[in-house]
Amino acid sequence: MTFGQQPQGNNNQYGNVNGQPQYGQPQYAYAQGQSQYAYGPNGAAAMNAQAAYSYEQVQQAERASVTRAYGEMTIGLIITAVVAVVAQMTGAYIGFLQATGLMGILLFVIIQVGMAMYLGARIMTIKASTARVMFYVYAALMGFTLSSIFMVYDLGSIGLALGMTALFFFVLTMFGLTTKMDMLKAGPILMVALIVLIVSQLILAFLPVSGMTQIVCALGLIIFAGMTMYDAQQTRALFAAYEAQGPEMIRKISVVCALNLYLDFVNMFMYLLQLFGNRD
């Protein structure tokens, strides 16, 4: 997802007064035996300390922004879980299916895909609060849809898949944020693999082949493991690129990054559930 390039200014480190060189005064004026330019060990140490302090400030701001994105993702997952449990306990999802049938499922899918595409395309023009509300609504709709897993898998399998997903997601995220390997270069490869995965699943939905479902699920798990590392690094890169544009932009980027990470988590969970879950 491309959000445009950050405008860059030209910073003149050695600007002259009013844009004109001061020829009437010595360039290296000394006052009371002290130079304006500290080239000694103490001056170098002061400059290094200031540079280190500035770098630490940038690092802290970056960590805070990344934490914000993962916090938004966590809230989305909690909303999904709560809605899924409530929909199952109240029978709302079953009632919805009985009333709408296949058209209802397709409607939910279209709405969810449309919301995700809209957020990605319009994030620069909408308010951060609007983007956040849309993300939470999206998470609620996903929870309503995922409540169907309670009709297929037992609670033990669901809990096991959820725990495995949380562990894998944490490990992959830490690896993505700490490794020197540039996962952003793998973006085009992962995108092509994701398209092939979606097409394969659509084909299997209409032409089921014995044993192919497990293979596709295993491949899907590998692809989204790569996407998790990719999105972890992309989150950090986006915040670094847009941090100069102010808090509002950081809040917008947080929502988009949270949505990407949320989708990685949910897809990994579903593939693990299909691979290792026991059906009722």
Determine the structural domain holding residue 156 and report its residue range: 63-276
Longest dimension (CA), the chain: 90
Answer yes or no: is 34 within a domain.
no
Query: How confident is the model over 6-63, as pLDDT tens digits?
Result: 444 444 443 443 444 443 344 333 334 443 444 455 555 555 555 554 555 556 667 7
Amino acid in the structure at residue 234: Q
Report pLDDT for 256: 93
How far apart CA 129 and CA 127 sit, in angstroms, is 5
In a domain, 124, yes or no: yes
pLDDT 10s digits, 185-202:
999 999 999 999 999 988
Q: What is the 3-state secondary structure (H, E, C) of the chain?
A: CCCCCCCCCCCCCCCCHHHCCCCCCCCCCEECCEECCCCCHHHHHHHHHHHHHHHHHHHHHHHHHHHHHHHHHHHHHHHHHHHHHHHHHHCHHHHHHHHHCHHHHHHHHHHHHHHHHHHHHHCCCCCHHHHHHHHHHHHHHHHHHHHHHHHCECHHHHHHHHHHHHHHHHHHHHHHHHCCCCHHHHHHHHHHHHHHHHHHHHHHHHCCCCCHHHHHHHHHHHHHHHHHHHHHHHHHHHHHHHHHHCHHHHHHHHHHHHHHHHHHHHHHHHHHHHHHCCEC
**Tokens, residue 98:** 């009985």
Local confidence pLDDT in tens for the 280 residues of the chain: 444 444 444 444 434 434 444 433 443 333 344 434 444 555 555 555 555 545 555 566 677 888 999 999 999 999 999 999 999 999 998 898 888 888 888 888 899 889 989 988 888 889 999 999 999 999 999 999 999 999 899 999 999 999 999 999 999 999 999 998 999 999 999 999 999 999 998 888 888 777 788 899 999 999 999 999 999 999 999 988 888 888 889 999 999 999 999 999 999 999 999 998 877 6
| Assigned domain for 15 exists | no
Answer whether residue 12 is part of any domain: no
The predicted structure's pLDDT at residue 43: 56
CA distance 41 to 142: 61
Q: Return the structure tokens found at 211.
A: 């044993």
Asked if residue 58 is part of any domain, the answer here is no
CB contact set of 192 (below 8 Å; sequence gap of 6+): none
Q: Please, what is the average pLDDT of the chain? A: 81
What's residue 210's pLDDT?
76
* Structural domain contains residue 148: yes
Q: How many separate domains does the chain show?
A: 1
In a domain, 138, yes or no: yes
Q: Is residue 13 part of a domain?
A: no
